Amino acid sequence: MKKILSTFLAVSFLAIAPLAVSVQAQDVDIDVSDTCHIERNITIKGNPCPTGDVSLTGSGDGAQCCLVNSIYNIVDWIFIILVAIAGIFIIIGAMNIIIAGGDSGKVDTGRKYIMYAAIGLFVAFIARAIPSIVVNIVG
């Protein structure tokens, strides 16, 4: 398992390293916009945030709404990744239990994989509460 993981990491690094060099070599003009696009119904300080494009300048809670919307988007991606990894661990654990052939060590290893996956799912669901905590702190 350790050999497979280290091989996967080495291949991943070798695949991504040329991309980083090519990105650094380009001369790119970055156009920073004064707006962000809000997709959720967010309420800060009792005021609902507008949906669609919101200006970051001027009066109002536009910047706070954009911050909370960005946190929601990041947490959504992290949740999806954690659920996918937990699913892979559950499959690996189940396969270890199935192919154990009476070996108690492999059965214990399979159970540990499934237990770690359950803990990962628990952490993923707890992480979904982070945007609400941030709204309470900001608002």
Give domain limits for the chain.
33-138
Q: Which two tokens stand for residue 72?
A: 């929601």
Cβ-based neighbour number of residue 50 at 10 Å: 14
Q: How far apart are CA 44 and CA 68, in angstroms?
A: 9
CA angle in degrees (0–180, nearest 5) for 46-48-49: 130
The pLDDT assigned to 50 comes to 77
The pLDDT assigned to 113 comes to 93
Instruction: Spell out, as residue ranges, where the chain has pLDDT lower than 50.
Output: none
The pLDDT assigned to 18 comes to 60
The pLDDT assigned to 107 comes to 92
For residues 13, 17, 20 and 26, what is the CA-based torsion angle, rounded to 10 degrees? -160
**79 and 127 in contact (C-beta within 8 Å)?**
yes
pTM: 0.62
The pLDDT assigned to 129 comes to 83
Least Cα distance to 33 among 50, 15, 55, 52 occurs for 55
**97 and 107 in contact (C-beta within 8 Å)?**
yes
Residue type, 115: M
The pLDDT assigned to 95 comes to 93
Which ranges in 26-103 belong to alpha helices (H)? 62-98
